[in-house]
Structure 1
Amino acid sequence: MDPFSAVSEELAEIHGEISDIFRALSNGFQKLEKVKDSNRQSRQLEELTEKMRECKRLIKEFDRKAKDLESRNDPDTNKMLNEKKQSMIKELNSYVALKKQYASNLENKRIDLFDGGTEGYGEDNVLLASTMTNQQLVDSGNQMMDETDQAIERKIISVSPCLWLTVQDTVNVGTETAAALKAQTEQMSWVVNVLDSIHFSIKKASQLVKELGRQVATDKCIMALLFLIVVRVIAIIIVKLVNPNNKDIKDIPGLAPPAMTRKLLWSAS
């Protein structure tokens, strides 16, 4: 059972991944000693380098998790975690130094090869290039660029064993930052589109409110006129009922007093 399981399941999982990588690095360097071909050695060194990058990332993650748990752990546990971190860093640095040694040996082999082939082979090399096809020339150029990149990496390693890891981390951070900025730009574009839609909706709503206001004002005027007419009619009816002989008020159809009955001529006579 992993001793880190009692502290944190995450720490135990990270420690297990680091241990697996260390075993893979140990087996990889043992196999590398048996490889004689320089190109195969270069490819295997690149694979081992990638594993070391992943191991460094996991060690950083282990340290971050351990610091998050410092307040909950007792001093002995924190001391044990710190010692384990230092031990893993030391083991990783040993593999980095071993990788540097193999890279230096490969570089020396290439230098010896070029030095041995410089004298007496210049014209043959020119003739060989002149007889190569376009595809062969392209492949040769790509191989030379790959070798140049590897030489640059070896120079970085020669300056500091861990500098190449820092450079790679910087490149990874730059890539992640660019992706985050792109996502934020797309999100801002979406927000701008939403704001434009909201602005258009508010403008449309304002126009509808104005039209409704005008309609309400018109309806109020009509109702006021109708109210005045009704009031006037009621007033005339009241006045007529109170004073039917008032000549100043015209008769309202249907409310006028009955007309005088006409007498026939024969009855009058």
Structure 2
Amino acid sequence: MASELQMSPQLEQIDGEIHDNFRALANGFQKLDKIKDPNRQSKQLEELTGKMRECKRLIKEFDREVKEEENGNPPEINKQLNERKQSLIKELNSYVALRKTYMSSLGNKKVELFDLGAGASEPVAEDNVQMASSMTNQELINAGTKTMDETDQALERSKMVVQQTVEVGSQTAVSLKGQTEQMGRIVNDLDTIHFSIKKATQLVKEIGRQVATDKCIMFFLLLVVCGVIAIIVVKIVNPNNKNISNIPGLAPPAPARKLLSMEAMGV
């Protein structure tokens, strides 16, 4: 059957491992018929139970691979793969039923039941799983109700997580808004400070130019005062100096002259 299907390498490998375990189970139950010691029979059944658990795990893995590849396969291939999965489940359930028979014959009441169901999905019992085909309608309803309750609880937890996430996001948004406004105020303050520094720099330059101009004026005034003082000092020391007499304002007064009209009157 496996060779007739178009399987991916992963599915072919899983299918081969399941067949190997099925062959080991068939050989193990054949040997079990030849064992007369109850202790050895119990040990052999434990080994076979381990093989069944491995088959159960592999069938679940086979089912996951089929679901992952479902979108990329044609509908006919998906149908064949699902039929192949159901045949594997039926074959494993036959070995489970055979194990139950041997366990009953040994007087052991503790029977492990497997639930591989139509979907080969998750277990629905407490420790071990009961086959869906052997469950009553009330048991199926109770199992479905329990699953729905667990789903509702998971949804409530998810809602709480989402609500907490929204609250944290809102708080973060408010904090970011406040920080953005604060950064805007800081930028405005920096612009004001920059403008003030620019104006102060211009004022300092103007003051510097005024101080330089005042210094030049004071320097020239100082030179003039020094020159006048020097001339006065020289005049006092040497009043007959002709060079000083030629300076306007410092020459000695001219001798008094009589008017021509007065001279005429004297004549």
Give the TM-score normalised by structure 1: 0.49
Give the number of the structure whose alpha-carbon radius of gyration is greater: 2
User: Given the two structures, how large is their TM-score scaled by the length of structure 2?
Assistant: 0.50
The structure with the largest helix share of the pair is: 1
